[in-house]
Amino acid sequence: MKLAFQGELGAFSHLAAIKLFPNSEIKACQTFEECFKLATDNLEYKIIIPIENSLAGRVADIHYLIPRYKLQIYAEHFHPVNHNLLGLKESKLEDIKTVRSHSQAIGQCQNIIKKNNLKPIISADTAGSAKFISEKKDKTESALASSLAAEIYNLKILVEHVEDDSRNVTRFLVMGKEIHHPELGNKKYITSCIFRVKSKPASLYKCLGGFATNNINLCKLESFSAKNTFQQVNFFIDIEGHIEDSSVQKSLEELGFHTESLDILGVYEADKFRLRK
């Protein structure tokens, strides 16, 4: 299996990829759009994309790439985010003056930054920051990144698990070009859709009414502007249930009646993380 992700080797997307598909052939892409285009043009590739974080919210750009490329979702994966403070092999914690990482990682590790009076430097991604530290070879600089990044770039973990909240989790989606759904069985499923409502009063209310009528739960409802305007919005929804379930079908039929566009993005098994109490 060929799997692509955004970022440098050692990124959290890389960790999620090898957790799900340990024997896959991995390809690192510089941008999210490069990932989406690769999967669109090459059926051999699937991509693993972070869509939201439990602390920082949704990942920028993804909600605009999803309707543009309309790739199918095959699976979801919730991955714990454990940040580590990395430095050169000869560095000590008292040597460190700056810390470099992605803006979300910087925001999620404020306690250690303030405690050690470190100057934060915003970078494109966590693993790229680790690579930069490895190449620059300045023992006063550090990076916030994964333990895999430390291994790949031959860095030392100065302090492990420096995230402010140990419950920090990112949700990833595995996506590809071809359409295929799992058969309906005795499992929990998620059906993901994206739709645009008609520009009429109470349209959204009417769109969602079918789910209430058919006793179908929505576990995600998120809006974002359509075509860079503020006049219309797209809605991304995750439905608890399989598209072949009659109640889900009735809900989607009613939804389609009140929308300008409706695209089914995928049907897939719910990650076991959702079942945790």
Residue pLDDT tens, the chain, 277 long: 899 999 999 999 999 999 999 999 999 999 999 999 999 999 999 999 999 988 878 887 888 899 899 999 999 999 999 999 999 999 999 999 999 999 889 999 999 999 999 999 999 889 999 999 999 999 999 999 999 999 999 999 999 999 999 888 999 999 999 999 999 999 999 999 999 988 788 889 999 999 999 999 999 999 887 766 666 788 999 999 999 999 999 999 999 998 999 999 999 999 999 977 5
Quick check: is 181 in a domain?
Answer: no
Closest CA to 228 of 94, 68, 38, 39: 68
Q: Tell me, what's the pLDDT at 225?
A: 79
CATH number at residue 89: 3.40.190.10
The reply to whether 64 and 90 lie within a common domain is: no
For residues 146 and 115, membership in a common domain is answered with yes
Q: What is the pLDDT at residue 169?
A: 93
Q: Would you state the pLDDT for residue 60?
A: 77
Asked if residue 100 and residue 65 are part of one domain, the reply reads: no
Q: Which of 5, 36, 132, 170 is catalytic?
A: 170
Q: Are residues 93 and 155 in the same domain?
A: yes
| Coil, helix or strand at residue 50 | strand
Domain-embedded: residue 62: yes
Q: Is residue 123 part of a domain?
A: yes
Q: Which domain holds residue 51?
A: 2-80+169-176
Q: Is 102 among the domain residues?
A: yes
Of 112, 143, 176, which marks where a domain is finished? 176
Same domain? 90 vs 63: no
Q: For this structure, is 224 an active site residue?
A: no
DSSP codes of every residue in 65-127:
HHHHH-PEEEEEEEEE---EEEE-TT--GGG--EEEEEHHHHHHTHHHHHHTT-EEEEES-HH
Per-residue confidence (pLDDT) for residue 230, from 0 to 100: 66
Domain termination site, one of 149, 176, 203: 176
* Domain identity same for 208 and 261: yes
Tokens 């809605």 label which residue?
Answer: 235
Of the residues 32, 36, 132, 172, which is catalytic?
Answer: 172
Q: How far is CA 77 from the centre of its chain?
A: 9
Give the model's pLDDT for residue 277: 58
Cα separation, 87 vs 112, whole angstroms: 14
State the virtual CA torsion across 86, 92, 95, 99 in degrees, nearest 10: 10
Residues 41 and 112 in one domain: no
Domains of the chain: total: 3
Give domain status of residue 19, yes or no: yes
Do 25 and 2 contact (CB within 8 A), yes or no? yes
The answer to whether residues 246 and 268 belong to one domain is yes
Q: Are residues 74 and 95 in the same domain?
A: no
Amino acid type, 156: K
Q: Strand 141-145 to strand 84-87: parallel, antiparallel, or no bridges (unpaired)?
A: antiparallel
Q: Is-above-0.95 flag for pTM?
A: no
The pLDDT of residue 38 = 97
Cβ pair 145, 83 in contact under 8 A: yes
Residue 189's CB is within 10 A of a number of other CB atoms, namely 20
In the structure encoding, which two tokens stand for residue 99, read together?
A: 């810390």
* Distance from the first to the final alpha carbon of the chain: 33
Instruction: Give the integer Cα–Cα distance in Å for 56 and 127.
Output: 18
Is 184 within a domain?
no
Which region holds residue 227: left if phi is over 0, alpha if psi is between -120 and 50, else beta?
A: left
Residues 76 and 112 both lie in one domain: no
CA distances, 98 to each of 80, 87, 93, 138, 235 (Å)? 25, 10, 11, 10, 40
The answer to whether residues 227 and 265 belong to one domain is yes
Instruction: Write down which residue in 176, 208, 223 finishes a domain.
Output: 176
**With contact defined as beta carbons under 8 Å apart, do 8 and 28 qualify?**
yes
pLDDT of residue 200: 81
Task: Indicate if 8 and 63 belong to the same structural domain.
Answer: yes
Task: State the CATH number of the domain containing residue 213.
Answer: 3.30.70.260
172 catalytic per annotation:
yes
